[in-house]
Amino acid sequence: MIKTPYYLIDKSKLLRNMEKIAYVREHSGAKALLALKCFATWSVFDLMSQYMDGTTSSSLNEVKLGKLKFGGETHAYSVAYADDEIEEVLAHSDKIIFNSIGQLERFADASASHVRGLRLNPGVSSSEFLIADPSRPFSRLGEWDADKVATVIDQISGFMIHNNCENSDFALFDQMLGEIEDKFGSLLEQPQIGWVSLGGGIHFTGENYPLDQFCARLKAFSERYGVQVFLEPGEASITMSTSLEVTVLDTLYNGKQLAIVDSSIEAHMLDLLIYRESAKMAPNDGELEYMVCGKSCLAGDIFGEFKFERELKVGDRLSFIDAAGYTMVKKNWFNGVKMPAIAVRELDGSVELVKEFTFDDFVNSLS
């Protein structure tokens, strides 16, 4: 039995998402790039690369990881590139997408022989959280002014437009894509524009999502403007594929039944703390309710309140589901809490421990 805490990636569950992505690719003509900012655990890239076209990145490190570990087409994007990293970014990418006209012009000579794109900001998004809203007031993410972009369109061949966030509503996606066409149609119609990435945040692998309508909309968009459409699924690629396995270390009562586990929401599921959301557990039913807490010193290190059929005891194992997206990439060494190992359940049901973190890893993360 693997010692907790550890992330457990189930390839059979991952495969369900991959098959839906393959369906969209086949029926819409769109290409799919894994968004490494959401999930970058390369030990399962062997499976994912069979169903996806490549990767998209947010930094030099992610560009290199995508090129070296995933293969396929590698898109490089960053809010801002530094002078001392642009050469490596170009060397490891097939396309480079600049966030601003200023960055495009700054690196115009260095990237002259490269496929170049520019990020557009349509001013609309599906985000319920200001912190995650790419179209928030005064957003730094992309260019807003179509007339300004038109002055440099001869320097690029495509656009990236990322304005969906956790969007499981096809009607909303359709509506916002229509607004994008209204605002930027004159740019999309230019003959030198050959590709458009619609980014990630579209939860098309979720239950009951109307895939055929989605495919038809993407295909119509592609044909109208004569462009290759790219999607950048992050969460959609790995949703419900991974759990965080933990063990109960202590129980106590302080007005509520509490259980303390050998993990930490701040260290191991940080995105939930940022957005003030609860972790997920299944099953989550029974007459006994416990607040499950992490072992760090943060008073708010709380995974959530869950229901159980029996009393929890020291040594019991618990499993938080849907623990891959924006979670494994954000794990940290807060309080020096042991970093979760990484295990993979193969398609044949066998479980392989692929990575353990040690005291040396903790020491080497500091100086």
Indicate the annotated binding residues for substrate: 235, 271
| Distance separating alpha carbons of residues 292 and 290, to the nearest angstrom | 6
Residues in CB range of 31: below 8 A, 6 or more apart: 25, 53, 54, 73, 228, 229, 230, 231
Closest to 152 in 3D by CA, of 97, 194, 105:
105
Please list, in sequence order, all residues whose beta carbon lies within 8 angstroms of the beta carbon of residue 323, skipping any fewer than 6 positions away.
7, 242, 243, 244, 269, 279
> β-strands 302-308, 288-293: how paired?
antiparallel
CA 137 to chain centre: 23
Q: Residue 50: CA atoms inside 13 Å, Cβ hemisphere, count?
A: 9
What residues have CB less than 8 Å from 208, skipping those under 6 apart?
A: none
Tokens matching residue 4: 């907790």
Residue 118 near residue 104, CB atoms below 8 Å: yes
Instruction: Give the type of residue at 300.
Output: G
Neighbours of 286 (CB within 10 A): 12
Cite the annotated binding site by residue number: 235, 271
**CA torsion sign, 287 to 288 to 291 to 293?**
negative
3-state secondary structure 41-54: CHHHHHHHCCCCCE
Query: Which runs of E-coded beta strand occur in 142-262?
Result: 158-160, 195-197, 228-231, 242-253, 257-261
**Cα separation, 367 vs 364, whole angstroms:** 7
